[in-house]
Amino acid sequence: MFQSIISAIGIPVLLSYLEKSVSDTKTQSSLEVASKISEARKALETSDISNNDILNNLNSIEEIRLIEAGLQEKMIDEIHKSYRAELASQDKFISRMRPTFGYVLALSWALQMGVIVYILLTEPARASEVIASFGSLTTMWSVALSVLGVYVYKRSQEKQTLNNNIDSILSKVTKKLFS
């Protein structure tokens, strides 16, 4: 009963509000969209589209969204499993990977800047060519520096958590000792 009331009253009202708000922008594409919404609203009002068809379509959309949400949840669970496995691992590489990546990135940056300065000093005629070619590496550097930023941020978070845990342990020990 509730669904039939919504489809009989709510959907046409919703479509009329949507049509009005879209047509208020006065652009060509928005007027075309408003026209299509108006056609759908008129078809609904003249019963060219049955309420059951609308409800079936809405139910289908809801089912699709639920399936998508389930898939996304499974994907996130898999990612969390891999993170947990990485954190539980006592592998030394994991603890050394972030600083190593940072040092390699800093060395690469220094070498690149050194090459640019050297070429600019020794062959000034090729300056624009060299700068343009190094400009092509912008995407690579943006990704590398973003990864480095995430590493630094996550390490700061880990240290903060570790410090909070140590403070908590120390406060418990001192309470036991001096109580």
pLDDT for the residue 170: 55
> Within this chain, do residues 98 and 153 fall inside the same structural domain, yes or no?
yes
State whether 124 and 80 are in the same domain: no
Average pLDDT along the chain: 76
Specify whether 130 is located in the same domain as 55.
no
* Whether pLDDT at 56 is above 90: no
Query: Could you tell me what percent of the chain has a pLDDT over 70?
Result: 73
Give the pLDDT of residue 123: 92
Long-range contacts of 51-56 (CB under 8 A, 24+ apart): 51/3, 51/4, 51/7, 51/8, 54/7, 54/11, 55/3, 55/7
Exposure pattern of 83-112 as b/e (b: 16+ CB <10 Å)? eeeeeeeeeeeeeeebeeeeeebeeeeeee
Q: Is 47 left (phi over 0), alpha (psi -120 to 50) or beta?
A: left
Do 79 and 109 lie in one domain? The reply is no
Mean pLDDT of 107-113: 92
The number of distinct structural domains making up the chain is 3
Domain stops at, among 64, 89, 114: 89
Predicted confidence (pLDDT) at residue 118 exceeds the cutoff of 80: yes
Are 40 and 15 in contact by the 8 Å Cβ rule? The answer is yes
Instruction: Please tell me whether residues 43 and 53 are part of one structural domain.
Output: no
pLDDT value at 113 more than 50: yes
Based on the fold, state whether residues 165 and 121 are members of the same structural domain.
yes
104 versus 61: the higher-pLDDT residue is: 104
pLDDT in tens, 74-85: 888 887 877 777
Question: Are residues 71 and 140 part of one domain?
Answer: no
Regarding whether 82 and 21 lie in a shared domain, the answer is no
Same domain, 114 and 162: yes
CB 2 within 8 A of CB 55: no
Instruction: Find out whether 30 and 23 touch, Cβ atoms under 8 Å.
Output: yes
Domain that holds residue 72: 49-89
pTM, rounded to two decimals = 0.39
Do residue 67 and residue 33 come from a single domain?
A: no
Residue 1: the pLDDT is 46
Q: Is the pLDDT of residue 136 over 80?
A: yes
Q: What is the pLDDT of residue 45?
A: 73
Residues 59-102 have pLDDT tens digits of 777 888 888 888 888 888 887 877 777 677 666 776 677 778 88
What average pLDDT score do residues 134-150 get? 87
